[in-house]
Structure 1
């Protein structure tokens, strides 16, 4: 690794895969250090505690996710509603078979696990999910302004509803090993966005 910050990123990269597989509490510091090939001192140089490490992991996850959202919602092709539908269609495609979910579902994986165990990690989850729903709300506002979203819909409330719907579908799909929750979420998303008649 060329720079010291590469060590920090390497630790986070390595640990994310382990935590997505087993959960935050089940992965101790030893397996993280062994998989990353770094000594304990390197870990504690960057993260004063495992909890601080968890906060850093979530902050990085949300920063990357928001960057992807900005690219998707910032596109100029199609209507605002089409961009929002595209986001949820991609969510369904990525997660339906469970394969790509391992790289996209850190918030789903950790929300229930750490919310009661770590207030700093809960706050990182809260901040991250609020930023996601704000991006969805802005995209819905663009759809309202371009006339592709039916009148009378309030973007901020609708964004929270849609995000909660899809997070719930992700949890159910994981628990049931079924794509049906995503299909139901897609049907309701089309209805909520006034696109079910298309």
Structure 2
């Protein structure tokens, strides 16, 4: 196996392992040694793959959003369903991922957003880029829904998309605090009203 493939695979294993651990514990509570031990990677090799813990955090978020956006694109891709149906399927998927482990969820934007935005400028920018890409996709789907007549909005698609994303992030945090799906159920109802569904 070529060295570059092995390096890429090992780097990916480290990132995937860190994502699983940090989705439960957060960023600051997890040491690099814990991630490497869980990944089965020798301790001394971390800096071969990442220049610093900050660079590692940035790579972690970039990797997370790349995977997230691929999944999101699959849900929102034009199909036999209306844009409104595809968008509501996305929100349902969001609800399901946030309902696991007593509403502790799996979304790193929810879990790490407030924590790392103050710790690292590069991680904050990775979060900003990733969340902006999510809002871009929501906006496009809303615009498609207005065009196909499956939904309607008051105002601009971008403003509605940003408001929806912000509400879902907030509801996900509240679901974690209350260990209840009620905030996600409430935001589902409000989403339907904003989209006139």
Indicate which of 174, 182, 185 corresponds to 2:184: 182
Structure 1 residue 127 corresponds to structure 2 residue 152: no
Over residues 144-175 of structure 1, what are the superposed CA-to-partner deviations in whole Å (9 max), with x where a residue is unaligned?
11112225441111110111111101000001
Tell me the residue number matched to 2:98.
Answer: 95
**For the Cα contact (< 8 Å) 2:117–2:124, is it kept in 1?**
yes
Q: Which runs of 4+ in 1 moved over 6 A?
A: none
Structure 1 residue 23 corresponds to structure 2 residue 26: yes
Moved more, 124-133 or 91-100: 91-100
Indicate which of 3, 8, 11 corresponds to 1:8: 11
Indicate which of 4, 25, 41 corresponds to 2:44: 41
Shift of 1:89: 1.8
Structure 1 residue 69 corresponds to structure 2 residue 72: yes
- SS of 2:57's equivalent? helix
Unaligned segments of structure 1, at least 5 residues: none
CA RMSD across the alignment:
1.7
Indicate which of 125, 149, 152 corresponds to 1:150: 152
- SS of 2:28's equivalent? coil
Over residues 23-79 of structure 1, what are the superposed CA-to-partner deviations in whole Å (9 max), with x where a residue is unaligned?
111111121121122123321111000110000000000000111111111131221
TM-score by length of 1: 0.92
Tell me the residue number matched to 2:167.
Answer: 165
Equivalents in 1 of 2:22, 2:28: separation in Å? 8
Tell me the residue number matched to 1:110.
Answer: 112
**For the Cα contact (< 8 Å) 2:153–2:195, is it kept in 1?**
no
Equivalents in 1 of 2:89, 2:41: separation in Å? 40
Shift of 1:98: 3.7
Task: Decide whether aligned partners of structure 1 residues 60 and 185 sit closer, same or farther in structure 2, where only a CA change above 3 A counts.
Answer: same
- SS of 1:3's equivalent? helix
Equivalents in 2 of 1:139, 1:59: separation in Å? 23
TM-score by length of 2: 0.92
